[in-house]
Amino acid sequence: MQINVKGKHIEITEAIDTYVRTKAAKLVRYFDKVLSIDCVIEKEANGFHVEFIVDVEHHDDFIVNYRDQDLYAAIDLAIDREARQLTDHKSRVRDHKHGQ
């Protein structure tokens, strides 16, 4: 699985890169068919905008956006939303295959 971290109007330090990669790598435990994860971190006038784009097999990309004053809080909350999307998708796929 490939994880890309990009910055707009902000320099991606080693600490930020490591933090994002560590958090993003955990998304595979929610849905194992993750192909790649792109993270775009943008510095705005009043905080940070974090966007995660997760490419999964046989489905459109899952996109999550989050804004917060604290960069690390924005990353954590965006990862939580992404985990929820992947969990819901996994449930839909599982229920569809087995029927009810």
Mean model confidence pLDDT for the chain: 91
pLDDT at 24: 94
Torsions phi, psi for 16 (to 5 deg): -65, -45
> Is the distance from CB of 54 to CB of 62 less than 8 angstroms?
yes
CATH number at residue 79: 3.30.160.100
Q: What is the pLDDT of residues 49-93, one digit of tens each?
A: 999 999 998 888 999 999 999 999 999 999 999 999 999 988 888
Which pTM does this prediction carry? 0.88
Query: Residues near 87 by Cβ (< 8 Å), separated by ≥ 6?
Result: 30, 31
Residue ranges of the alpha helices (H) in 2-70?
A: 14-25
Do the beta carbons of residue 69 and residue 42 sit within 8 Å?
no
Greater model confidence, 60 or 22: 22
**Total number of domains in the chain:** 1
- Measured on CA atoms in the order 51, 55, 59, 60, is the torsion positive or negative? positive
Domain containing residue 41:
2-98
SS3 category, 11: coil
